[in-house]
Amino acid sequence: MVQPIVDVSPPKWHLGHTTWFFETFILSVYDNNYTVFNKDYNYVFNSYYETVGARVVRTDRGNLSRPTVAEVLAYRQYVDAAMESFLSKQETLDKALQGLLYLGFNHEQQHQELLITDIKYIFGNNPLLPAYDSSYKPYADEKNEEQDWITLAEGVYEIGANAEQLDFCFDNELNRHKVYLNSFSIAAREVTNAEYLAFINAGGYEDFRFWHSDGWEWVNTHQVKSPMYWHYIDNAWQHYTPKGLLPLALNEPVCHISYYEAYAYAAWAGKRLPTEAEWEVASNKFTWGRRWEWTESAYLPYPGFAKAAGAIGEYNGKFMINQMVLRGASQATSAGHSRNTYRNFFQPQLRWQFTGIRLAESI
């Protein structure tokens, strides 16, 4: 039930919350024979759905000594069994129910990723820096090659998900629409630890010229000197990984970077971050998926976006303020969960996710 910061939820809360989703939005609505496992769990495991009622304040999730892990696992088994029984009796699924199932599956995949990132934060802030995955293998530390650049001509392009061609997409990926882009170049690979280390050694964290005003205040208020999980020990850089503390892998993509840091690095390098439209249009020309990549785009609705009625409408639309868009996926993302239209989003100071940098430049 450890919760070091507000953004990190206790692991058992993720297990309970993903279970609660199926109980609340499917079983309690569609199965007339279903009996709620524990009426208090709606209060405990509701995340942010105002429509569904009161909930535990996010900062207090770490105080939930009850229910126990065993009780949460029993809850999960109970709901899984009820879901299997309910679905086995359905000859067909109506469109609304099918949509809720797909949303529930994708919601669970999101929390599988959050579970990994939250556990890493919990262990990475334990003074012993314990390993939590002894089988973890870092990316091969290959020779650091010169950066290649991919150039796209100016023109009108289409971005966004085409719902008719996909089994599922989130509402914030809709609607597919046209955008005009000036000609630009985008990096073929992400910025590496070695390249970011050069920024540090050049005094990047001490030079206000590369930072937004908010970013500069954040750096100085929190005395940020390096990416999250980097430690300078005995005159050498190390970083915390799922396998514990290891020497910094210089040619791995830099990770656990805030938007503020991504922007500052790009400014120092004489480049910029790509917009989300540029990233999506170019994404079939480079390899992506090792890091969530910050873009220069604020998280805003696409043309024609409309929130669904009821609680499901709270899923994405209510967060379209004070957030920046990330594209791609990361090593913690469930296989097949992301796509090049997927719009992840976080506040600019956050770094506990597996976030990195890809550069761009205008031509």
Domain boundaries, the chain: 11-124, 149-362
pTM (predicted TM-score): 0.93
Element (H, E) at 122: helix 95-124
* pLDDT given at position 142: 56
Lowest mean pLDDT segment, chosen from 1-10, 68-77, 166-175, 201-210: 1-10
Question: Which of 71, 79, 62 minimizes the C-alpha distance to 19?
Answer: 79
* pLDDT given at position 51: 60
Tokens representing residue 68 in the block: 């126990």
Indicate the angle between helix axes 259-268 and 213-222, nearest 10 degrees: 110
Which residue reads 């999960």 in tokens? 76
Q: Indicate if the alpha-carbon torsion angle 294, 300, 302, 307 is positive or negative.
A: positive
* pLDDT given at position 308: 78
Phi, psi dihedrals of residue 31, rounded to the nearest 5°:
-110, 105
DSSP state of 272: B
**Across 283-303, average pLDDT:** 97
The fraction of the chain above a pLDDT of 90, given in percent, is 79
What are 223-276's pLDDT values in tens digits? Answer: 999 999 999 999 999 999 999 999 999 999 999 999 999 999 999 999 999 999
**Across 199-203, average pLDDT:** 98
The answer, yes or no, to whether residue 141 has pLDDT greater than 60, is: no
* pLDDT given at position 49: 63
What are 352-363's pLDDT values in tens digits? Answer: 999 999 999 999
**Across 134-160, average pLDDT:** 86
Beta bridge partners of 236: 233
Beta bridge partners of 272: 360
CATH 3.40.50.970 fits 149-362, yes or no: no
Element (H, E) at 119: helix 95-124
* pLDDT given at position 55: 67
* pLDDT given at position 311: 63
Reported confidence tier of residue 143, pLDDT bands at 50, 70, 90: low
What are 51-70's pLDDT values in tens digits? Answer: 666 767 777 777 788 899 99
Strands (E), the chain: 149-152, 155-159, 177-181, 184-187, 230-233, 236-241, 244-247, 292-298, 324-328, 344-346, 355-356, 360-362
What is the C-alpha end-to-end distance of the chain, expressed in Å?
Answer: 51
How does 139-155 read in b/e, with b if 16+ C-beta sit within 10 Å? eeeeeeeeeeeeebeee
Q: In what order do the strands lie in the sheet with 360-362?
A: 149-152, 184-187, 360-362
Reported confidence tier of residue 4, pLDDT bands at 50, 70, 90: confident
* pLDDT given at position 163: 87
* pLDDT given at position 350: 98
The answer, yes or no, to whether residue 173 has pLDDT greater than 60, is: yes
